[in-house]
Structure 1
Amino acid sequence: MRDTLIDTLEPLGIALGAALVALLLVQTVHVMLLRAGRRSALLTELANRAHRPTQWVVVLSAVYFTIRDTADEADWRHTFLHVEQLIIIGAVAWLVAALLVVAEDAALARFRTDVPDNRQARRVHTQVVMIRRVTVATVAVLAAGVMLMTFPQARILGTSVIASAGFVGIIAGLAAQSLLRNLFAGLQLAFSDAVRLGDVVIVEEEWGRIQEITLSYVVVHVWDDRRLILPTSYFTEKPFQNWTRNEAALLGDVMLDVDWWLPVPEAREELRRALESTDLWDGRVSVLQVVEATGNAMRLRALVSATDAPKLWDLRCFIREHMVTWLRDAHPSSLPRTRAEVTSAMPLHATLTGQTHTADSDARVFSHSVDGRARAEAFTGGERSTEGRSPTTPLPQPEWTQR
C-alpha cells in the first residue's frame, strides 16, 4: 500500500515541479516580449494574444512527458496521458489560431481605413477577415479530427466511414446545400471585390453600410441604426446597388418646381454661392438645368457632388432649403402657381355680329339649318317633288320616324 502511494505521489510531485518551471519560463518570455514591444506593435500583439495558449501548451507538455517517463507502473497512467493528449491538442489549436490572428492583424495594420481614399484598404480588410474565419474554422475542425483519432474505436469507425464515403457525401451535400452555398458565396464576395466592409449599398430598398461579412451572412448597418441581416448568397444571386464600388464620391440631384417667370441664370449663380458657403461640397459639380417645362411650372434640377454618401444627403437637404428660401425672399412671383382663365359663356365674335346659337341648333343633324333640312330631304327620298310647297310647309316624315 505504501509503495503504491509512493508510486502515485512521486510522479505527480515531479510533474508539478516541471509545470512550475515551465510556467516560470513562459512568464519570463512574456515579460521580455512586452518590454521589446515598446518599440514594436507586432511583439506587443504577439505577447498579448499568444500568452495564455502558450502557457497551456508548455505546462501541459511538461506534465505529459514527466508522467510518461516517471509513472511506468501506475494504473492511472494510460487514462491520464490520454486526457493530457486531448487537452494538449486543443491548446495547440488555440495557439495556432492565435498566431494566425496576429499575422492577419499585422497585415491589416498596413492598410488604414480612416483615410478618405480607403477603397483598397477596405478590400484587403474584407479578404483578411474572411481568411481569418476560414483558417480558425479549419484549425478547429482539424483539432477535432486529431482528437477523435486518439480513440481506437474512432479509427475503426473511420475505416467504415471511408468505405461508404460516396453515399455519405451525397447525403451530407444535400443536407448542407444551403450552408455550402452561403460558404462559397462568402468566399466569392471576399475575393471578387463585389462588396467590401464599409461599402455603402442599397439592398431591399434600404440604404446602409456593410458592417460585417461572415461565411454565412452579411450585416448591413442601415442609416437609422437598424441592422439588416442577409445571407451571403443574396449578394451573388440578386442585384444590389454599391455606391462605393470604385470610389466614395457621388453625385446627387435636387428637384424644384418654379414658375416660368424665374430668371434661371440668377438661380445658377445662387446655387454656386450656396455650394461655396458649405464644407459639404467637394467642389466638383455644380449644375442647374431646366429638365422640364410643361403645364404651369418649370422643373429645375440642381446637380451637386460630395465626397461620400452621408455628406451628399446633407448637402442635398441644405441646397433644397437654401433655394426655397431664396425663391421666397428674392423672387416670390416665381413660386409655383396655378393659372385659370375666366371667359364669357358666349364667344366674342358672336356677341359682336349678333349671331347666336341655341343648344338644340348644335345638337341636331336634320333640322334647324339649311344644310340640316337638305340632309333630311335626302333621307326622305330625292324623287319626291317639292314644287308648290311653301317654305313653311313641313316636310313629310319618313316612315321609320312615324313608327
Structure 2
Amino acid sequence: MLVTALTFTGSVLVALVVVTLVHRVVRRIGRRSALFAGLARHAHKPALVVAVLVAVQFSLSVAAQGEWRPAALHAVGIALILAGAWLLAALLVVAEDATLARIRVDVSDNRHARRVHTQITLVRRVTVVVVSVLAAAAVLMTFPGARAAGTSLLASAGVIGAIAALAAQSLLGNVFAGVQIAFSDALRLDDVVVVEEQWGRVEDITLTYVVVHLWDDRRLILPTAYFLKTPFENWTRTQSALLGTVELDLDWTVPVEDLRQELRHALESNDLWDGRVCVVQVTGAVGAFVRVRALVSATDAGRLWDLRCVAREHLVGWLRSRHPGALPQVRVQDMPKARVRPSGSNGSGGAEITASGSDNRVFGESADGEERVQAFSGPDQRVSASDRGSGGGEQRVDGFARGPDGADRG
C-alpha cells in the first residue's frame, strides 16, 4: 500500500513539475509570438489536468492492486477522455486565434478580412461541437452495455436520423444556414445591413442566430435561416463606400445651377465627403413644386448619414438666406374670364362660351380633330330629304326621331 501511495504521489508531482516548466518556457516565448502566448493562456489548465490524469492512470496500472482497481481505472479513463477533448478544443481555439491575429480588420478595405473572420469564427464553433460530441460518444463506448446498444443503434441509423431530423428541423435548418452564410460570403462580421427596416452592423454570427447592433445601440436577434429566406440589404458586401441622396421640394424659380455650385463648394470643405460623387438633378417637376435631388458619397455608412444631414442643413440655410423665393410656396391666381356671346347670337336662343383658338380641343375644330371624331364616333350621318316627314315636322337622324322642339324620340 505504501508503494502504491509513493508511486501515485511521485508520478503526480513529476507531471506537475513538467507541465509547470513547459508553461514557463511557453509563456516566455509568448512575449514575442502570439501563437505561444495563446498556448500559455488557453492550453495550460487542460494540459495540467491531462498530465495529472496520465500520471494517476500510470500509477494505478503499475502499483495498484485490489477489487477497486478496474473501477478506478475506468473512472480515470473517462476523465482522461474528457480532459483530452478539452485540450484538443483549446489547441484548436489557439490555432484559430493565431490565424485571426494575422488578418487585420482595421484597414480601409477589410472585406476579405471580415470574410475570413466570419468563417473562422463559425468553424471554431463547429469544431468545438464536434469534439464535444466525439468525446461524449467515446465515454459511452467505454461501457459494455452502451457498446452493445451502439451496435444496435447503428443498425437503425437511418430511422433514428429521420426522426432526429424531423424533431430538430428548425434547429438543424439554422445550423446549416449558419454554415452556408459563413462560406457563401452573403453576410460577414461588421457588415452594415438593413433588416426589418432597421439599420445596423452585424455584431456576431453563431450557428443558430445573428446579432445585429442597431444604430441606436439596440440589439436585433435574428435566426440564421432568416438571411436565407428573407431579402435584406448589405451595404458593405463589396465595399464600404456608399452613395446617399438629399431630396428637397422647392419652388419652380429655384436656381438649379447656383444650387449645384453651392453644394460642391460646401462638400469640398467637409472631411466627411470622399470626393467621388457630387451631383444635383431635378428629378421631378409635377404639381406646385420641383423635386431637387443631391447625390453625395462617403467612405462608410456612418459618415454618409452625417454627410447627408450636413448637406441638407447647408442647402436649406443657403436657400433661406440667398434665394428665399425658391422655398416651397403655394400660389393663388385668378383665372381669366371666358368670353360669352350674347343670347341668340348662335341662333339657338342660349349663351355660348367660345374659345380663343382651336388648340384647346382634341375632337373637332381641325383636320386632325375631325379624323379623330370619325375614328371614335363613326361617320357623320347627314339628314336626307327622304327622311323628312311632311306632316309632323319630324326629322330622322341616326335612327332617332327629332321633333320640332328639338327633343329626341326613340
* TM-score range for the pair, normalised by the shorter chain length: 0.7 to 0.9
Asked if residue 36 in structure 1 is aligned to residue 44 in structure 2, the reply is no
How many Å separate the matches in 1 of 2:314 and 2:350?
Answer: 64
Quote the sequence identity (%).
57
Q: Secondary structure at the match of 2:43?
A: helix
Q: Secondary structure at the match of 1:337?
A: coil
Alignment correspondent of 2:310: 318
The amino acid of 1:332's aligned partner reads P
Asked if residue 229 in structure 1 is aligned to residue 237 in structure 2, the reply is no
Q: Closer, same or farther in 2 for the Cα pair 1:397/1:14, shift >3 Å?
A: same
Asked if residue 108 in structure 1 is aligned to residue 116 in structure 2, the reply is no
* Structure 2: unaligned runs, 5 residues or longer: 353-388, 395-402
- Counterpart of 2:5 (choices 12, 18, 25) is 12
Alignment correspondent of 1:139: 131
Following superposition, the deviation at residue 382 of structure 1 comes to 6.8
How many Å separate the matches in 1 of 2:23 and 2:103?
Answer: 28
Following superposition, the deviation at residue 252 of structure 1 comes to 0.6
Is the 2:342–2:351 contact (alpha carbons within 8 Å) kept by the matching residues of 1? no
For these two proteins, the number of residue pairs brought into alignment is 366
Asked if residue 77 in structure 1 is aligned to residue 85 in structure 2, the reply is no
How many Å separate the matches in 1 of 2:35 and 2:88?
Answer: 16
Residue-by-residue CA offset, 1:110-129 (whole Å, 9 max, x unaligned):
11111111000000001101
Residue-by-residue CA offset, 1:183-204 (whole Å, 9 max, x unaligned):
1111111111111111111112
Structure with greater proportional helix content: 1
Deviation larger for 219-228 or 241-250: 219-228
Asked if residue 287 in structure 1 is aligned to residue 295 in structure 2, the reply is no
Is the 1:12–1:67 contact (alpha carbons within 8 Å) kept by the matching residues of 2? no
How many Å separate the matches in 1 of 2:99 and 2:351?
Answer: 100
Asked if residue 51 in structure 1 is aligned to residue 44 in structure 2, the reply is yes
| TM-score when normalising by structure 1 | 0.85
Alignment correspondent of 1:175: 167
Moved over 4 A (4+): 395-401
Alignment correspondent of 2:119: 127
Alignment correspondent of 1:383: 391
Following superposition, the deviation at residue 330 of structure 1 comes to 0.8
- Counterpart of 1:259 (choices 251, 257, 266) is 251
Alignment correspondent of 1:296: 288
Following superposition, the deviation at residue 220 of structure 1 comes to 1.3
Following superposition, the deviation at residue 343 of structure 1 comes to 4.5
Instruction: Quote the RMSD (CA, aligned, Å).
Output: 2.7
- Counterpart of 1:220 (choices 190, 209, 212) is 212
Give runs of aligned pairs for residues 263-274 of structure 1, distance below 5 A.
263-274=255-266
How many Å separate the matches in 1 of 2:313 and 2:405?
Answer: 74
Q: Secondary structure at the match of 2:253?
A: coil
Is the 1:258–1:298 contact (alpha carbons within 8 Å) kept by the matching residues of 2? yes
Following superposition, the deviation at residue 97 of structure 1 comes to 0.5
Alignment correspondent of 1:148: 140
Alignment correspondent of 2:327: 335
| TM-score when normalising by structure 2 | 0.83
The amino acid of 2:37's aligned partner reads T
The amino acid of 1:165's aligned partner reads A
Alignment correspondent of 2:59: 66
How many Å separate the matches in 2 of 1:310 and 1:230?
Answer: 23
How many Å separate the matches in 2 of 1:150 and 1:217?
Answer: 35
Following superposition, the deviation at residue 56 of structure 1 comes to 0.1
Following superposition, the deviation at residue 385 of structure 1 comes to 6.9
Following superposition, the deviation at residue 356 of structure 1 comes to 5.6
